[in-house]
Amino acid sequence: MNICGFRYLGMALALVMSVAAVPVASAADFGFSGLQIHGMTQRIAHAMGLDKVKGVLVQDVALGGPADVAGFHRGDLIVKFDGTEIDTYNRMIKAVTATKPGQSVVVRVKRGGGEHDLTMKLGTRPESRKIKKGSVISLPVFGLTLAAITAKIRKRFNIRWSATGVLITLIDAKFEKRTEFRRGDIIVQVNQKPVWDPRQVRDAFEVAKKTKKKDLLMLVERVEGFRLIVHKVR
């Protein structure tokens, strides 16, 4: 089972996984964990030296999310969730869809030859992960076109699962040689404040102008990692 098959829980479970066959209610009904998981296969089990195809693997962990706080690691094998033995991917679905925001669950994982019980307090889906409608704006004075990261945009630009922010989709040719930004950069923060809507970036510049600030500090994610950019306010 590959990751493309997991878009079902992306909405429903707040694990951002997905299964296209089981009807589920709104994502708001489920506890948010900030986990991306991958189902087990015979080939994976064999590579791990396991006798049985059992459990689900943690593929990614959202920074600062409930799973991150609880101590989950990429590569953890989840074998028990809130008292339920996780033998199959569908079993995980049922266990997670039974949770509520604010609920604490104990999750047993196998890691490095040992087993660990992790207590995780589930949250609600962050605003940065509720984006369904596209939003695009231009900032001509900076030569930038910005877009909200919808599921369609995430797929089109091959944006990693746990990344959130505002995507730079275009840079005016006149600005390319004199800007530190690149097409495909994700603006994660402006002056230490998370952003996920292009209007938040625009408004930050407008406020800076009114308060006569000379610069804004931008945290940007790109393929090779994160970068801090101090950008002039014109």
Q: Collect all residues with Cβ–Cβ distance below 8 Å to 158 and sequence separation of at least 6.
A: none
Residue 178 has what DSSP assignment? G
Report how far residue 122's alpha carbon sits from residue 125's, in angstroms, rounded to the nearest whole number: 10
Sequence letter at residue 179: T
Mean pLDDT, 10 residues at a time, the chain of 234 residues: 36 36 49 93 93 94 95 97 94 92 97 95 91 90 94 92 95 91 96 96 94 95 95 86
Given this model, what pLDDT does residue 141 score? 87
The architecture of the domain spanning 127-232 is Roll (2.30)
The pLDDT assigned to 143 comes to: 93
Domains 3-121 and 127-232 share a fold: yes
At residue 123, the 3 state secondary structure works out as strand
What's the confidence (pLDDT) of residue 177? 86
**How high is the pLDDT of residue 16?**
41
| Global pTM value | 0.79
Domain ranges of the chain: 3-121, 127-232
- What number of residues does the chain have? 234
CATH of domain 3-121: 2.30.42.10
**Strand segments (E) across the chain:** 35-39, 56-61, 77-81, 84-85, 104-111, 114-121, 136-139, 144-148, 166-171, 186-190, 193-194, 215-222, 225-232
What's at 183, amino acid-wise?
R
Nearest to 145 by CA among 106, 112, 173: 173
| pLDDT at residue 11, rounded to an integer | 34
> Looking at residue 130, what is its pLDDT?
84
DSSP-derived 3-state class of residue 112: coil
